[in-house]
Structures are given as structure tokens and as C-alpha cells.
Amino acid sequence: MTTVPFAIPRPTHPTGVWSWITTIDHKKIGVLYGVTAFVLFIIGGLEALLMRIQLAGPNQDIVSPEVFNQLFTMHGTTMIFLAVMPLSAAFFNFVIPLQIGARDVAFPRLNAFSYWTFLGGAILLNSSWFLGGATNAGWFGYAPLTSTAQNPGNGIDFWIISLQVLGVASLAAAFNFIVTIVNMRAPGMSFMRMPLFTWMTFITAILLVLAFPVITVALIELYFDRTFGMNFFNVATGGDPVLWQHLFWVFGHPEVYILILPAMGIVSEILPTFAKKPLFGYSTVVLAGAIIAFMGWMVWSHHMFTVGLGPIPTAVFTLTTMAIAVPTGIKIFNWMATIWGGSMEYKAPLLFALGFIALFTIGGISGIMHAMASSDAQQQDTYFIVAHIHYVLFGGAIVAVVGGIYYWFPKITGRMYNEAIGKLNFWVMFVGMNLVFFPMHFLGLDGMPRRIYTYDANMGWSLWNGVSTLGALVLGLSFLIFIYNIVTSWRNGEAADGDPWDGRTLEWSMSSPPPEYNFAEIPTVYDRDAWWAEKRGQVHHGVPVGGGSGEEEHSIHMPQPSYWPIVVSIGLVIAGFGLVYHGTYFAVAAFGVLIGMIGVYAWSFEPVNDPE
Amino acid sequence: MWAFLGSDCMFFGSLIATYLVYKNRSLSGPLPVDVFSIPTTSVSTFVLLMSSMSMVLAYAALRRNRMKTFRIWLASTALMGMTFLAFQVFEFHAFANHEVVVDCTAPIGELTALEQSVAADCEPGQHEIEKQVGLTPRTNLFGSTFFTLTGFHGAHVTLGVVWLLSMFFLSFKKGAVTPEKELNLDLAALYWHFVDIVWIIIFTVVYLFGVFPGF
């Protein structure tokens, strides 16, 4: 019936490098996301370590001020867009289809496209280190710091274009997961029976879909200013730099919930499993997540209290910011009630989840402190803010993600990690984390500004900066332990069975690692903790969870691998390079777009499965 | 698709917000009153609105499996889209080469701000002065915001035309476009209507509010 244009034989590699390049299996893509994001996380971590070494004592001269500016900008951008977001995406990919009882995501090829585009954006951003210097205007890129007059190099252009490319990847992934969660749940799994992690993914995807266009527009305007001499943020022709701040934070504040909600989802999975109790107040936790996402749109100006917006906006945003702490507090109390009286198994994932609660609460409380505009005026741009943001993003998001990696490690690899090293990993990380970031509260209250490359000995900041750098080394050590544990366990850990934790959700009802088709037969779901209910002997009609004789597997057709997603991504990245260098290089951009278009057409006409 | 449209709403929402924030804040002309020609743009707006109707007719024809009617309506939708784009190209060109002719003897109070700035160049004894005061994206805030907003809308229309034409040519291949696969057309139609609605907002907010005093 359908002839394939650009008739290239379909990729059929079951193993080897090509199988990874052409894969559209959500589990493989999840692993690709996880490994890539972790490598980028290490790069971002090394950038932070360099900054900490520079700040270890007064008047040091290890990196120049110019390099320091690039370091903190790239550290922020890398950690947010290239580490935490894709680490969450790795879990979305691996876990969501398994949790909702699906064989794959709704658009498997689009999923592969998301990954390759993310990788391309990461390469584009980091290539700027070698091509004339990285971006140096802070991760928020405030105008007019980013104008051609202030910043003639092409670091800013690399930053603009790679964020656009990453935006495309995130949007494609978000559409994919919204459709997957809405349409592909197993029979019987109503919205209020969805596992919490699935819920938080759903909410995060909606936030992504609504928040990214705003930053896209802001970046387009900035790019036009820089490339074509337009006037959006040009004060000389009446442009207003504060508009950039508004656009950036309208995106930027929902973005912080995009970073933290998946982590909250992970914690909400780990706690009940190891406390052997269902999650306390399931519907309130779901609702609190939704309210956080909604209210996340009403608080952006608290990043701008010192701009001088006037008393009314400042008062309003103070109130909304304080109010958003309420649903967050609800979640924390629900988690505590979940472990209250539970028969706790103190395995490594649980330690990380408990660590998350403690550290995130500290970050939340300092957050409430600068929700108050008058208090924020003192704290703005000091290390106090640095302490706050790292307690919520490191102590919150990263600790939960590492816990999640330990939690799903047996499922992903089919092997157990080393429990003793896992626990050691937690304690070293916990101590290191507090050593780095707690002293920053003191430094901030003592008036140490952010983003300075050095300070004088008589400022009285030397002691706590030294402690903080020591902590950074401990934190680095904890990640060496982590890598050691993961690598050795992956290669020769004990074999894990399908359900090592006595899990509650569907992903534990199959073998580890899961078969390519996930479920031999799609189970029917009758309960929130469906797999627990099944194991506790509740009998229902329909296909039992974890059931299916396995004889059906010959008739299961999985979508076949494809070359086209990566072709489109490569086209996008080539176009990105063309746009960065602009001028005559627009020809390169056009060439990239052409490759992308060919890829899109070939993709559209490629049948999901070849006729047999 | 609905999720995508939601996302696109935020995209255009941000662009329109930028336009509104900078409305009446340009430091120099030309301004909307100087360049807009409401009759011309009304015609192109009408064409785009009619294209939405023919899109609906194409969809209805496909559902009744009348392939010939379907192709005619689909092609005319794409054609009207292209007409709209041609209007836009013409309009951009006219704005960029905008010329004013000012009567040097007219009392200064009867002239617009732009005409006043041109009239300042009148030599003593000169009756009339003609000057090119083109509006480009670089000229002022109005130029930057206007061309970016309408340009991205034009890019959306272009993408829609490419999509519709692809479906048009595909429909000659047997079994590629059938009533059973109406969802494919439905999605294209949804996109097309969305782009149309955005234009109605742009036309109202940018063109009409820009020309009539009081807004």
C-alpha cells in the first residue's frame, strides 16, 4: 500500500550501537536520558567545584573573573536544563509506561526525537566553551547584560539557541507524556488510581507545555535584538529591560516546580513502599501538587522585589508566595503521616527520601523568609539565596533523584546495588551537602554577595567559605561513591528478582529488567496500589496484575526502530549552529532546516510497522 | 493537539503581551496610525476567515467520501492561505517603503506627529515635501513588536499551507486520505482554525485598536 520515500532499509539491529541510535523503546531511551544527564550533571558539578576552590580563601586567583562569570552561568544553566530536567525525564521515560500498564509511550518516535534533540542542545551549549567563550550573563540572562553592546561575543547566542533547541526537546516530551497518560492507562486505572509519580509527571508536563513558549518568545526577542538590531530591550529606543525580567520569571517560576514536582513524585513512591503503608491522604497530595502548579503562575514577581514594582504588586506577590507554602506543607505532613507507625525498612532509597524531606523543608523555610519583601530586600543577591536554592534543588531534587535511581536500579538493570555502599553514599552526601550549603546562610546574612569571584580577608567571610569548599569536596566524594556503586553493581551485582521491595505499583509486577513489550497481557486495575492488592489476594475479574501466561508474546507487535528521529534532531542542531553565527551562516541554518524537513516527511510516511 | 494549541496560546499570548506593553511607547514614528490601511487588511482578514469556512466544507466532504469536492475545498483553503500571505508580503513591503507627502503651508496643529517631524525639514518657500519614512523592525519599538508578532503568525500560516498542500497531494494516492483517516484532516483543520482565531485577535488588538483613537 504505502511505499516508503527515500527508501532506506529499516534499521533492524537488535543489539550494538545502532540499536541504541535507532531505538524507540521507552526503556532504552530512559537509560540514554539518565546516563547523558548524569554525565552533564558531573560537568556542572565540576564547574561548581572550580568556583568553590576559587572561593576557598580570600583573594585567590585560580580562575579569572571572566572565567568565573562563565562558570556560574554555565553551572546554573547546565544543572537546570541539562541535569535535573533530563534526569526527571529519564524517570518519566522508564517508569511511566510501566506504571500505567502500557507497552510504550503514545509516540515512541517522538520520544527518540526528544532525546536526540536534548543531546544536540547540550552539545551546542557546551561547544561554546571552545568557540569563543561560554555565556556569562547569569542563567537568567538579564537585559541589558545580554545586549551586543555589553556582550559582543557569541556566548550569549549559543545560550539563546541551545535553550531553544532544548525547549523543542522538552515540549515534544511533554506532549508525549500528556497524551500517554491521558490515553494509554490500563483498563480500570482511573485518574485517582494513578500512582503518585505518574500524577506528578502529568502535572509537570502540563507546566512545561505552558511555560516554555514564554521563554521561547523572550529568547526570540533577545535574539532579534542581538542579530537584527531590533529594539525590544534597547533602552535608547524606549525598550524596557524589566520586560525581560517579567517574561523570564513568568517562565522561570513554573520552571522551579517543573524541577521539584517529579522529585516529590519519586519520594511519594519510595515512602509508602518502605513504610509498608499506603500513601497517607493520596487525594490531598495529588490536589496539593495541582495547586502548587496552578499557583506557581502567580508568584513570579517575588524574584523581582528589588526592581521597584511599587507597593501593591509587591504586597500581592508577597501574599501569593506565602500562600504557596501551604500546599507544599500539606505534602510534607502527608509524607510524615505516611511513615508514622509504618514498619520501616531502612534501605538506601528510603534514606534518600527521608533526607529529601528534611533538606527540602529547610529550603522551604528559608524560602518563606524571603517571601516577605522587606526581608528579601536584605537577602536579594546574597549567599542566603544561594543557600536556599541549593537546599531545594540539591537537597530536594537531586537527593530525591539519586534515591529514585537506587529505588528503580534493580528494575532497570536486573541487578541489585550494594546496600552498604548505598547507605554510605547517603550519609556522605547528606553531610557534604549540609557542609557546603548551610554556611552559605551565615555568609549571606553577613552580606556576602552572589557571583563575586573573590573577596578580601578583612570581610570576615574566610572561615565559612573554607568550610563550604571542604563540603564541596565531600559532596564530590559522595558522587564518586555513587558512580562506583552503580558501575560495579551494574556489571556484577546480584541478580534482582522482579519485585525486590514488595512494591505497590505495576512496574514491580514483571521481571527485572522488563521484557521489551513490558506486559504480556495488559492487566486490569482495581486498586490504587494494584500490585499490593493482587499480592494480598484480592480476587477480581479481568487480567490479573502480574498475570498472563507469557504465551501471548509471539503475537505482540512492538513499533520498529527508526532512523528519522535522529535525522530531524541533527537537522535542528545544524540549523542552531547556523543561527548562532548568523550573517552568511543563515545558509547553514537553511541547510539544517532542509535536513529536518526531509526527516519529518520521511518520518510521517514511514509506517509504524513494516508489513510482513 | 489540544496540548500543542494550549502551548501555542502561551506563545502568541507572550508576543501580544510584549506588543501591548510597548504600545504607545515608541520614541519615534512611524506609528500604527501612519502606516496601517484598514481596508486592505480587512480584505485579507476576510480571505483568511473564508478559508476557515472552506476548511470546514473540505472536512464535511471527506466524511461523506466525496473526494473531488474534498480536494476542491482543500485546495481553495490553501489558496486563500497563500492569498493572505501575499497580502502580508505586500503590506510589509508597503510599510518598509512608507512615504509621506506633507503640505509645508498647513498649520502645524493639523499634522500628525510623523508629518510634523517631516515638515521640520521644509525649506523656506517650499510648498510640499516628500520623504520616505519606512517602518522596519529596527525603526522603533512598534516596528520590532509588530513585525515579530505578525511575522510569526505568517510563519504559522505558511506551515499550515504546507500541511494542507501535503494532504492535497497525498489525497491522489490511493488509500492515503480516506474517511476512516479523517483524524489526520481533523488535526490539520484544528490547527488552521486556531491560526485564524489568533489572526482575529491580532487584527483587533493591533490594527483596529492601533488606528482608532481612545485605545
Asked if the model's pLDDT at residue A406 lies above 80, the reply is yes
**Residue A223: closest CA among chain B residues belongs to which residue?**
B148
Angle at B16 between CA B14 and CA B18, to 5 degrees: 70
Average pLDDT in the A334-360 region?
A: 94
| Inter-chain residue contact B22 with A230, CB threshold 8 Å | no
Angle at A161 between CA A160 and CA A167, to 5 degrees: 95
**Which alpha helices (DSSP H) does A78-195 contain, by range?**
85-100, 108-127, 155-183
Q: Which residue is associated with the grid cell 549552529?
A: A577
Q: Does A1 touch chain B (CB under 8 A)?
A: yes
Neighbouring CB atoms inside 10 A of A259's CB total 23
Chain B hits for A231, CB-CB cut-off 8 Å, are 138, 140-141, 143-144
pTM as predicted: 0.91
Cross-chain CB nearest to A238 (options B13, B18, B27): B27
- For residues B27-38, one letter each, b for 16 or more C-beta atoms within 10 angstroms of the residue's C-beta and e for the rest, the string is ebbbbbebbbee
Cross-chain CB nearest to B3 (options A175, A214, A228): A175
Q: What is this model's ipTM?
A: 0.86
Q: Which of A181, A200, A166 is nearest to A97 (CA)?
A: A181
pLDDT bracket for residue A158 (50, 70, 90): very high
CA–CA separation, A111 vs A515, rounded Å? Answer: 19
Distance from CA of A229 to the nearest CA of B (A): 6
CA atoms B40, B42, B44, B47: torsion sign: negative
pLDDT bracket for residue B133 (50, 70, 90): confident
Distance from CA of B107 to the nearest CA of A (A): 29
Per-residue confidence (pLDDT) for residue A326, from 0 to 100: 93
Q: Tell me the percentage of chain A whose pLDDT exceeds 70.
A: 94
- Of A258-272, A290-304, A503-517, B45-59, the one with minimum mean pLDDT is A503-517
Cross-chain CB nearest to B148 (options A2, A178, A221): A221
Q: Does A178 touch chain B (CB under 8 A)?
A: yes
CA–CA separation, A453 vs A447, rounded Å? Answer: 15
Q: Residues near A536 by Cβ (< 8 Å), separated by ≥ 6? A: none
CATH of domain A25-547: 1.20.210.10
DSSP state of A513: S
| Inter-chain residue contact B11 with A217, CB threshold 8 Å | yes
Q: Does A152 touch chain B (CB under 8 A)?
A: no
Chain B hits for A247, CB-CB cut-off 8 Å, are 14, 18
CA–CA separation, A453 vs A51, rounded Å? Answer: 8
Per-residue confidence (pLDDT) for residue A5, from 0 to 100: 45
pLDDT digits over A184-236, tens only? 999 889 999 999 999 999 999 999 999 999 999 999 999 999 999 888 998 88
Q: Does B141 touch chain A (CB under 8 A)?
A: yes
Q: Which of residues 221-280 of A touch B (CB under 8 A)?
A: 221, 224-225, 228-232, 237-240, 243, 247, 250
pLDDT bracket for residue B215 (50, 70, 90): low
Per-residue confidence (pLDDT) for residue A540, from 0 to 100: 66
Chain B hits for A212, CB-CB cut-off 8 Å, are 7
| Inter-chain residue contact B14 with A209, CB threshold 8 Å | no
The answer to whether the beta carbons of residues A110 and A564 sit under 8 Å apart is no
At residue A559, φ and ψ (nearest 5 deg) are -60, 145
Average pLDDT in the A283-306 region?
A: 92
By DSSP bridging, strand B99-103 and strand B128-132 are antiparallel
Cross-chain CB nearest to B8 (options A213, A231, A240): A213
Report chain A's mean pLDDT, rounded to a whole number.
89
Query: Which helix (H) or strand (E) is A432 found in, with range?
Result: helix A419-445
| Inter-chain residue contact A224 with B22, CB threshold 8 Å | no
pLDDT digits over A258-270, tens only? 999 999 999 999 9
pLDDT bracket for residue A121 (50, 70, 90): very high
Contacts by B90-93 with C-beta closer than 8 Å and gap 24+? B90/B40, B91/B37, B91/B40, B91/B41, B91/B44, B92/B147
The answer to whether the beta carbons of residues A561 and A12 sit under 8 Å apart is yes
Q: Which CATH superfamily is domain B2-98+133-211 in?
A: Cytochrome c oxidase, subunit III, four-helix bundle (1.20.120.80)
Q: Does B15 touch chain A (CB under 8 A)?
A: yes
What residues does each domain of chain A span? Answer: 1-7+560-612, 25-547
The answer to whether the beta carbons of residues A138 and A381 sit under 8 Å apart is no
| Inter-chain residue contact A230 with B144, CB threshold 8 Å | yes
pLDDT digits over B177-191, tens only? 777 788 888 888 999
Chain B hits for A243, CB-CB cut-off 8 Å, are 18, 21-22
pLDDT bracket for residue B20 (50, 70, 90): confident
Q: Does B145 touch chain A (CB under 8 A)?
A: yes
What residues does each domain of chain B span? Answer: 2-98+133-211, 99-132
The CA-to-CA distance between both ends of chain B, in Å, stands at: 35
Task: Mutation target for A interface from B5, B31, B144, B170: give the one with most A CBs within 10 A.
Answer: B144
Q: With helix as H, strand as E and coil as C, how does chain B read?
A: CHHHHHHHHHHHHHHHHHHHHHCCCCCCCCCHHHHCCHHHHHHHHHHHHHHHHHHHHHHHHHHCCCHHHHHHHHHHHHHHHHHHHHHHHHHHHHHHCCEEEEECCCCHHHCCHHHHHHHCCCCCCCCEEEEECCCCCCCCHHHHHHHHHHHHHHHHHHHHHHHHHHHHHHCCCCCCCCHHHHHHHHHHHHHHHHHHHHHHHHHHHHHHHHHCCCC
Asked if the model's pLDDT at residue A512 lies above 90, the reply is no
Per-residue confidence (pLDDT) for residue A561, from 0 to 100: 83
The answer to whether the beta carbons of residues A30 and A20 sit under 8 Å apart is no
